[in-house]
Amino acid sequence: MKRIPFHKSAGLGAVFLAVLLLLATGCQSQHRFIKKTAFKGTNDIIITFAAPVDESWAKNISNYRVYEKPDPDIELKIGSITLSNGGRSVTLHFEEALNQDQPHMVTMQNIMSGGKSVGSAYVKVKKLYLGVLFSVLIGAMLIHNFVFTKYLGLCVFFGTSQKKSTAVGMGVTFTIVMVVSAMMSWALYQFVLKPYHLDYLQIIVFIGLVSLSVQAVDTILRKINPTLFKAFGVYLVLVIANCIILAVPLILADNEYNAWESLMLALGAGLGFLVALFLMSSARERLELANVPPTYRGLPIAFVVAGLFALAFLGFSGMSIF
């Protein structure tokens, strides 16, 4: 019988132990008796079981331990517990609002069902990922609109918002440039700058990528729609140094967004700029027919209107989608 060399047997043993460890941790993190976990509102977590649980066990707060995954040492205080009529779901009511942007870990000790113990469970509660992506999109587009809440990109905003046709064209072009440059910046940061510790070059690199994207759009637009290209004038070139175009890649780098989240943020920022341009151009077209005092005509009244829009967009602040 052929003997296996020691170094190979040791390697196989290490792999076997790793698999056992993985299986062990998997058994701890999942439990066949737990069917579903979800957030409800701002202060509640719902846990659904495969079968009814005993009321005495379910309403005993000491049987639960909840904490945010990044901070396992900080236990969240449960105010009260509600058991559903059928006994298949438990709602944990917390004293303070939950930070639903972070996954929460719930430990349940010695779960009792029908007078018998079905073991302990260790489960994760997190938001639906599609909901997270939609929140990023709506947040960048409305709640944290870069023009009306952060006051970025005002040069291009005021320069191209005199007519709807020009505003919509610039908004669409800006969105395309935003998405392309942001995704290229994200990829370059994640796979080149970050691994090789070149983070300090990110601003220079991002400006270069934005310039490349704008030049590509400039060339394509010059061939496809010369009229719109002439309407943009110098403002298309100014997109290179636009604050929003540079802000989005920096936000992606600072917050460690993945590809889908980066796409949603870039798309939301571009669409938010499009919405801002459309609203402003609609107002400025009507102002052309209004009896505006001479000292307020042009940019002064435009700044006043933009300020009013900014006040209106404050109504979105603090809004939570999911």
pLDDT of residue 15: 44
Cβ-contact 265, 248 below 8 angstroms: yes
Specify the 3-state DSSP secondary structure of 123.
Answer: strand
Nearest residue to 106 via CA among 68, 74, 65, 75: 65
Question: What does pLDDT average to in each consecutive run of 10 residues of the chain (322 residues)?
Answer: 47 45 40 88 92 94 93 93 93 92 90 92 86 88 93 89 88 89 92 91 89 84 83 72 85 89 94 95 92 91 94 84 56
Angle 202-224/243-255 helices, nearest 10 degrees? 130
* One-character DSSP codes across 51-94: S---HHHHT-GGGEEEEETT-TTSBPPEEEEEE-TTSSEEEEEE
140 near 146, Cβ under 8 Å? yes
CA dist 174 → 122, 156, 180 (Å): 46, 10, 10
Query: What integer pLDDT is reported at residue 66 of this predicted model?
Result: 96
pLDDT attached to residue 2: 46
Domains within the chain, CATH numbers bracketed = 33-127 (2.60.40.1220), 130-316 (no CATH)
Residue type, 278: F
Burial class (CB in 10 A: 0-12, 13-18, 19+), 76: buried
Beta bridge partners of 66: 106
Closest-CA residue to 236 (of 173, 299, 179): 173
- Write the DSSP assignment of 239-253 as a string of letters: GGG-HHHHHHHHHHH
- Are 101 and 129 in contact, with CB atoms under 8 Å apart? no
Q: According to the model, what pLDDT value does residue 4 have?
A: 45
Q: How far apart are CA 67 and CA 98, in angstroms?
A: 10
Residue labelled with tokens 């980066």: 262
pLDDT given for residue 241 in this prediction? 66
